[in-house]
Amino acid sequence: MGVLNVTPDSFADGGLYADPGRAVEAGLAMVEAGADIVDVGGESTRPGAGEVPADEERRRVQPVVERLARQVTVPVSVDTWKAEVARAALDAGALIVNDISGLQFDPALGGVVARSGAALVLMHTRGRPAVMAQHASYADVVGEVAAELGAQLHVAEQAGIPREAVVLDPGIGFAKTAEHSIALLARLDDPRLRALDRPWLVGPSRKSFLRAAIGDVPAPGRDWATAAAVTAAILHGAHVVRVHRVAEMVQVARVADMIKAGRAG
């Protein structure tokens, strides 16, 4: 999954693709480089980020999704928790809603996804981005994430979304310290997470938890560290990895896949 931020304040790429034309070109390049999904987001969800009004987020996202969906054969995803934005993106051709809130922030989102027949990514978090760091307290991060994602999966099913349409995301860096994020990457194959019986999406790309290993390196300089995290995620069971540098991480993912297959015999 290639990350296509159409925001002026992205932590990872400095708003490079705020212009719709440039964003579409970047999305096409991601597909050419091997992306299986392009994920378009119009609101920064970095720690401490404020919310963008729905009409502004829709204005950023909708034209990019519409143009990409007409030109690529891979699914286009919209990274939003707002029902209004999701509805506009789905009408424009998106096939996946990537919800960082796990259906917690906007009660109407589940119904929008269910009626559209789209797929849904349910991510684990606690609290909105502006305050989520205050909620990074766990006695057992793996067990608590598993339990809370299980509850969110039940909410999705109650909204009419088939279980088979849902992918889960442990929420690396969301309401988690570096230690929590590393524990989840290292234990993604824990029986409590596997018992949820859904595919896993993991998004470690350029995130601040990587500084625990490499020091105070700015986000664009964390791609080598991202490669290590992507490899670990795949070896421990990730089905989708969400990344900024698609061409390089396609190579990383393919080698990790080969190693995993070799370990399985």
β-strand 96-99 against 76-79: which pairing, if any?
A: parallel
Res 34 pLDDT > 70:
yes
Q: Which residue has the higher pLDDT, 97 or 48?
A: 97
Query: Given a cut of 90, is residue 8 above it in pLDDT?
Result: no
pLDDT digits (tens, 9 = 90+) for 127-153: 998 899 999 999 999 999 999 999 999
131: domain range?
Answer: 2-263
Is the pLDDT at 73 greater than 90? The verdict is yes
| Average pLDDT of the residues in 37-60 | 89
Question: Catalytic: 242?
Answer: yes
Residue 7 has pLDDT above 90, yes or no: no
Spatial strand order in the sheet of 119-123: 2-5, 38-41, 76-79, 96-99, 119-123, 166-169
Q: Is the pLDDT of residue 18 over 80?
A: no
What pLDDT, on a 0 to 100 scale, did the predictor assign at position 14? 55
To the nearest whole percent, how much of the chain has pLDDT over 90? 89
Q: What is the pLDDT of residue 119?
A: 98
* pLDDT exceeds 70 at position 9: no
pLDDT tens-place string over residues 160-204: 999 999 999 999 999 999 999 999 999 999 999 999 999 999 999
Q: Give me 235's structure tokens.
A: 């070896």
pTM (2 d.p.): 0.94
For residue 158, pLDDT beyond 90: yes
pLDDT number for residue 48: 72
Any idea what the CATH number is for the domain that residue 83 is in? 3.20.20.20
Q: Are 80 and 41 in contact (CB under 8 A)?
A: yes
* pLDDT at residue number 208: 95
Options 207, 211, 222, 254, the catalytic residue = 207
What's the whole-number mean pLDDT along residues 12-36?
Answer: 86
Q: Which one from 242, 245, 260, 263 is the annotated catalytic residue? A: 242
- What per-residue confidence (pLDDT) applies to 111? 98
The alpha helices in the chain, defined as continuous H runs, are 20-33, 54-71, 83-91, 109-116, 141-158, 178-186, 191-194, 211-214, 223-235, 246-263
Which H helix or E strand runs over 98? strand 96-99
What's the domain count of the chain?
1
Q: What is the mean pLDDT of the chain?
A: 95
* pLDDT for 16 beyond 80: no
Burial, 86: exposed, middle or buried (Cβ in 10 Å; 0-12, 13-18, 19+)?
A: buried
pLDDT above 80 (res 81): yes
% of residues, the chain, pLDDT over 70: 96
Closest CA to 175 of 110, 210, 207, 128: 128
